[in-house]
Amino acid sequence: MRRTLANIYRLGVKELWGLWRDPAMLVLIVFMFGFSVYSAARAMPETLHRAPIAIVDEDASPLSLRIASAFYPPQFMPPAAVAQSEVDAGMDAGIYTFALIIPPGFQRDVLAGRAPALQLAVDATRMTQAFNGAGAIQQIVLTEVAAFVQRYRGTAAPAPVELVLRSRFNQTLDKGWFGTMTQLINHVTMVSILLCGAALIREREHGTIEHLLAMPVTPTEIMLAKVWSMGLVVLVAVAASLQGVIRGLVGVPVEGSVALFLLTTALHLFATTAMGIFMATVTRSMPQFALLIILVLLPLQMLSGGSTPRESMPELVRDLMLAAPTTHFTMAGQAILFRGAGLSVVWPQLAALGTIGAVFFAVALRRFRRTIGQMA
């Protein structure tokens, strides 16, 4: 047993030195767990942030001025006062996403109860921002018109029912919180599969796998060395990203236990690193491995519940994805990081990750033995 552990340790150290001499992989790890995680919080396209808007005020009344002054950062840029003839040219050039046209006599018609119409031109090529912005502009205009007609904001008759909103786990409704943590969870799967698979393919291309076969080591020791070394690299990168990027740069408060999340990540890495080795034994070169990663990662990430709630998926898809480690890792990761869940809540996901990891490791080990047996 002592000799086996020593072999696994030394082979793992060899893998770490091999990764250290691969600058492309090091840059990829820093990029994925650094810039990519940060950009997910600061570049969420569905967030209405500094949207450019133009206002054509043909009424020039106190009500139209009040509406124009209601648009301000950070949701909108300060409105640009333009003429009717400048709207089409500005939207064609992509200068304005929205153009609100207030017709002449608008205030007079409102006070007379004639329900005048406003025109809102929207650049629909910016789909998400256009959808959210159109609703926000409609709400702003209706609110300002109602307040102007009532003369005072507090004179409206009380509603028969009052709905009190309590936002839990994300009190400011900042979508960047969700984006940055989801990006981190997704990158764990991709980077771990890539590192383990690339390590095996690199040894095959350089001919070092034949040298290992001539040494007194077993396929199990070789595979365990790759699993613990590459898993450790990803685990350290996750901890650094969680502390330095998510907490430090983005300022997202992590509700749950970081240690419990790292434990969950370690169990997930046990499955994904084995998956990477299995995929590397199926392919013969790095380009083939890269193509296979695309085919595997897309359904794993899209159907895991990170981007779309599992409840909105077909029942057959939900049942099939229970065999994927990403489903349980996403559920446990979101529960810990978003809602501060403890071990009593996420233990079913941890048990599922351990079971799936053991199955994946056994299947990958069998395939790995067969592959190196053919090489010998």
For residue 155, pLDDT beyond 70: no
Identify how many contiguous H helices and E strands the chain contains and give both numbers.
15, 4
Summarised one tens digit per residue, pLDDT across range 245-262 is 888 888 888 878 889 999
Whether 161 is covered by a domain: the verdict is no
What backbone phi and psi angles, to 5 degrees, belong to 54?
A: -115, 145
Please give the mean pLDDT across all residues of the chain: 85
Both 199 and 282 in one domain: the answer is yes
Whether 165 is covered by a domain: the verdict is no
Q: Which two tokens stand for residue 198?
A: 């690339």
Burial of 229 (0-12, 13-18, 19+ CB in 10 A): buried
Both 142 and 65 in one domain: the answer is yes
Both 240 and 363 in one domain: the answer is yes
Tell me how far apart the alpha carbons of residues 63 and 147 are, in angstroms, rounded to a whole number: 10
Provide the pLDDT for residue 153: 47
Provide the pLDDT for residue 157: 58
Task: Identify the domain containing residue 118 by its residue range.
Answer: 53-155
Which pLDDT band holds residue 182 (cuts at 50, 70, 90)? confident
Burial of 29 (0-12, 13-18, 19+ CB in 10 A): buried
Q: 254 near 50, Cβ under 8 Å?
A: no
Average pLDDT over residues 42-64: 82
Tell me how far apart the alpha carbons of residues 334 and 319 are, in angstroms, rounded to a whole number: 20
What are the residues facing 122 on neighbouring strands?
98
Provide the pLDDT for residue 329: 92
Whether 204 is covered by a domain: the verdict is yes
Summarised one tens digit per residue, pLDDT across range 97-106 is 999 999 999 9
Both 222 and 358 in one domain: the answer is yes
Average pLDDT over residues 185-196: 89
Which pLDDT band holds residue 83 (cuts at 50, 70, 90)? very high
Residue 92's H or E segment, with its range, is helix 84-92
Summarised one tens digit per residue, pLDDT across range 338-351 is 888 889 999 999 99
If phi over 0 gives left and psi between -120 and 50 gives alpha, with beta otherwise, what is residue 305? left
Both 293 and 215 in one domain: the answer is yes
Say how many domains are in the chain: 2
Both 280 and 177 in one domain: the answer is yes
Q: Which of 355, 358, 352, 184 is nearest to 258 (CA)?
A: 184
Measured CA angle at 179 (ends 318, 190), to 5 deg? 65
For residue 314, pLDDT beyond 60: yes
Tell me how far apart the alpha carbons of residues 46 and 128 are, in angstroms, rounded to a whole number: 5
Both 37 and 71 in one domain: the answer is no
Mapped onto helix, strand or coil, the DSSP state of residue 121 is strand
Both 227 and 364 in one domain: the answer is yes
Both 256 and 116 in one domain: the answer is no
CATH number for the domain that contains residue 65: 3.40.1710.10
Both 99 and 36 in one domain: the answer is no
Measured CA angle at 215 (ends 214, 221), to 5 deg? 120
Summarised one tens digit per residue, pLDDT across range 351-365 is 999 999 999 999 988
Summarised one tens digit per residue, pLDDT across range 54-68 is 999 999 999 999 999
Q: What percent of the chain has pLDDT over 70?
A: 92
Tell me how far apart the alpha carbons of residues 274 and 277 are, in angstroms, rounded to a whole number: 5
Both 72 and 205 in one domain: the answer is no
